[in-house]
Amino acid sequence: MENNPTENDKNVAAATHLSTFSKYFIPFGNFIFPLLLWTVNKDKQFVNEHGRQALNFQLSILVYTLIIGVVCLPFFIIFATDFISLVEVMESHYHDVSVQNIKNLSGYVILFFIIAILLLGLFVFELYAVITATIRASRGEHYKYPLTISFIPQQPLKTQQHEHLS
């Protein structure tokens, strides 16, 4: 990595990390804008490393969110069938709905609470990591996101040799 990245390189690297927050305004903005900034400035080693890190982290967050969703999918299906049967009981016997007719829903409430905590934790983790990466990039320091899957491998940059005509 370059020993002394230029001020422009620091700003572009910091903007690459900050651009991941665009997902809150534009769908898939967390992939589009960092990818654009990274692709345009890929020849600069400092920006190349930070851009690769930002994209790998966003892809990792997507994978972790999908894993939470896939793990919870069977529970959602079971809850939906229980809820539909509860509605059917209430429609057919609305005069004598008792506590016995309503199945124990506390397990589902706990499940939804756990899912909410996991997703909130993932959100806070992402917020902390992106802000930390932005600060480090603006200082000209290297930053490696924690718990990041390396989807985009590190590739050595091609050194360009410029011949000067004298």
Task: Kindly report, residue by residue over 18-53, the tens digit of the pLDDT.
Answer: 999 999 999 999 999 999 999 999 999 999 999 999
Q: Can you say whether the dihedral through the CA atoms of 47, 49, 50, 53 is positive or negative?
A: positive
**Whole domain around residue 52: which residue ranges?**
7-93+101-139
155 in a structural domain? no
156 in a structural domain? no
163 in a structural domain? no
DSSP state of 51: H
148 in a structural domain? no
Domain count, the chain: 1
166 in a structural domain? no
- According to the model, what pLDDT value does residue 90 have? 62
Crossing angle of helices 106-139/7-18, nearest 10°? 170
Low-confidence ranges of the chain (pLDDT < 50): 1, 160-166
- According to the model, what pLDDT value does residue 160 have? 45
The per-type count for the chain, helices as H runs and strands as E runs, is 4, 0
46 in a structural domain? yes
132 in a structural domain? yes
54 in a structural domain? yes
- According to the model, what pLDDT value does residue 111 have? 83
The Cα angle at residue 21 between residues 15 and 24, in degrees rounded to 5: 150
Side-chain half-sphere CA neighbours of 132 within 13 A: 13
